[in-house]
Chains A and B, each alone.
Chain A
Amino acid sequence: MSEPLEILLTASFWAAAVRIATPLVFGTLGELVCERAGVLNLGIEGIMTAGAMVGWTSVYMGADLWTGVLLAATCGAVFGALHALLTVPLGLSQHVVGLGVTLLASSLTYFSYRLLLPGASTPPTIEAFQPMSVPGLSELPLVGEALFSQTPMTWLALALILVAAYVLNRTPMGLALRMVGENPQAAEAQGISVNAVRMTAVIVGSALMAIGGAFLTLAAFNSFFFTMVQGRGWVCIALVVFASWRPGKALFGALLYGLFDAYQVRLQHAVAKEIPYQLFLMTPYLLSILALILMSRRATYPQALMKPYRRGERG
């Protein structure tokens, strides 16, 4: 069998795909929660950066890893609250506020990190989450290593997909959230406070994004650098569209992206070098765009997305 095909059958390749997908799962889920409630959150890139910093710094200063994750989520929630305040009750442009939050969050992160650790030439390290094995399950072929030899944060991401899908589709809370994103007037008529639901969604969604950032510094790597989110937040925004605003498809999309990325990095040295490496680097993005085109033909986006709600105003 040729080498490119053999790669697809190695367990470590699938494990890498799941690992690469993990921060995207958190980010995409966070963005999805915001958008289902009708708010586009372009603060994601900055919130992920802030989460990466806060999570890492807390652990560096003595907190345990899960406290770090929790503090990162809290920090994300604070930026989410700011975003929600400006876009929901004040009804400002969601694009402008989102980009503003990204700039603010990244710059504040930069500034506070400099104050905390001035003059570090190589950033210090922490003991990050290590991949753990589940006895019995980890020995299964392919899926064993891919799913059960991961860090606990990856399991958290997978569990959150299930929780989100259940809450959104099977609970009154989820119904309220979907309703304010589709038809806020109808929700209001049912006695639901549109603003309260939307604000909660943005705050919770932003907390999830920050956890995605924290994965980068607490599990994927063990130091913080300012530029380490590297556009992953923007990928999440595209993945939400790809997923047609559904948690299950969001997981699928993130995994697909992870697969392409894990594959290209292996193909680089597996196939003949006549092919420029840039082509391989391009593949996850090219295939994502292609998948986006195919999927978005049947996309049904939340009807009230990006429309501020004002009580009493005709829809």
Chain B
Amino acid sequence: MAVSRRSFLLTTSIAPLALHVPTAHAAPVKVAGIHTVPVENAWNSRLHTAMREADAAGTIGYSFSESVANTDYPRAMRQYADEGAQLIVGESYGVERDARQVARDYPDTAFLMGSSGGPDGSNFSVFGTWNHEAAYLTGILAGFVSKANVYGAVGGYPIPEVNRLIHAFRDGGRETRPDAKFLVGFIGTWFDPPKAKEAGLAQIDAGADVLFGERIGTADAARERGILSVGSLIDYLPRYPGTVFANAMWYFRPIVDAAAADVAAGNIQARDYSEFSFMKHGGNDIVFDEGLVTGEAVALMEEKRAAIKDGSLEVAITDTEPT
């Protein structure tokens, strides 16, 4: 087939537009996810996976864009709103003000953003990432598996959502080892696995024999040196068998289900959905490898887990930078 320059340009410029039109789903709520990074990145993968599950379950129709730069983020929000998305899910950490402005311009669209700020106007809802309860439980197990009683932690940046995990992990460790020694290192990027691994190795050199890996790459250091490690957000057990003994899982499904239900009921609102991150709503929980921890440790951990679920135990939230 002969392709003229004009027809080539025409098709190549129109095709992406056609591809961007959200496909029709039987699902009642059209949800658009806008991710600033590739969907493999730990945090975004939690959103992405949960929304794909909800799509498969038929409660939402999910389309998404990934690697959207912050400078382009408001444009992507507007585009999805114009195309008829009913609920736009994403992260406004880098565009708090602009994202709120977009929400004001589209009062009939619901927005649900991971945010450091609060809800805004009539339709800008937010959620926090709260898996500190699970992190606390992993700390309890860590107290039993450590011999040196020195615990490392590698984080991206010391923002509240990272700090509270490291503090909760430490609180868990102190339940049985009040004299525990804790190390912490930040790598100044969300995503550099070789660098996170180097930070982990440095802590092992300094005596740590359990690492709390807030960033991917930390467990690789643990595996290389034959010590144990804890993961966060996603399930690292299959990836690091024999190294990662517990994970502080975070589940986005309760949040998106609650928000989609509100939209389906015609109830567009500005709400803080963070509470659905809590363990009693199934928003975070521990998964662990029974082969790597003792029954005694599991018994204590399960006792605390039940207490968190029934509300009799509240895990402390400390947002200051850990030292």
| Contact indicator B188/A266 (Cβ below 8 Å) | no
16 A-B pairs (CB sep. < 8 Å): A20-B198, A110-B67, A120-B40, A121-B40, A121-B49, A122-B40, A221-B194, A225-B38, A225-B191, A226-B38, A226-B40, A230-B191, A265-B199, A268-B184, A270-B206, A277-B186
Q: Say yes or no for A10: interface residue by CB 8 A criterion.
A: yes
Cβ–Cβ < 8 Å partners of B45 in chain A: 121-122
Q: Say yes or no for B183: interface residue by CB 8 A criterion.
A: yes
Query: What 0/1 pattern do residues 202 to 219 of B give for CB contact below 8 A with A?
Result: 110110000000000100
Bound CA span A216–B192, Å: 10
Q: Given that A221-B193, A228-B191 are known contacts, is A265 also in contact with B202, CB under 8 Å in the complex?
A: yes
| Contact indicator A281/B198 (Cβ below 8 Å) | no
Cβ–Cβ < 8 Å partners of A122 in chain B: 40, 42, 45, 234, 239
Cβ–Cβ < 8 Å partners of A278 in chain B: 188
Which residues of A from 266 to 303 have beta carbons under 8 Å from B? 266, 268-270, 273, 277-278, 281
Chain A residues within 8 Å of B, Cβ to Cβ: 10, 12-13, 16, 19-20, 110, 119-123, 125, 131, 216, 220-223, 225-228, 230, 261-262, 265-266, 268-270, 273, 277-278, 281
Closest 5 A-B residue pairs measured CB to CB? A273-B323, A220-B194, A269-B183, A281-B188, A121-B45
Bound CA span A131–B198, Å: 14
Chain B residues within 8 Å of A, Cβ to Cβ: 37-42, 45, 48-49, 52, 67, 152, 158, 183-189, 191-195, 197-199, 201-203, 205-206, 217, 220, 224, 234, 239, 323
| Contact indicator B49/A16 (Cβ below 8 Å) | no
| Contact indicator B205/A121 (Cβ below 8 Å) | no
Bound CA span A268–B188, Å: 12
Q: Given that A122-B45, A277-B185 are known contacts, is A230 also in contact with B195, CB under 8 Å in the complex?
A: yes
| Contact indicator B203/A228 (Cβ below 8 Å) | no
> Of B189, B198, B220, which is in contact with the most chain A CB atoms at under 10 Å from its CB?
B198
Q: Given that A121-B234, A277-B158 are known contacts, is A226 also in contact with B205, CB under 8 Å in the complex?
A: no
Bound CA span A222–B239, Å: 11
Closest A residue to B158 using CB positions:
A277
Cβ–Cβ < 8 Å partners of A110 in chain B: 38, 67
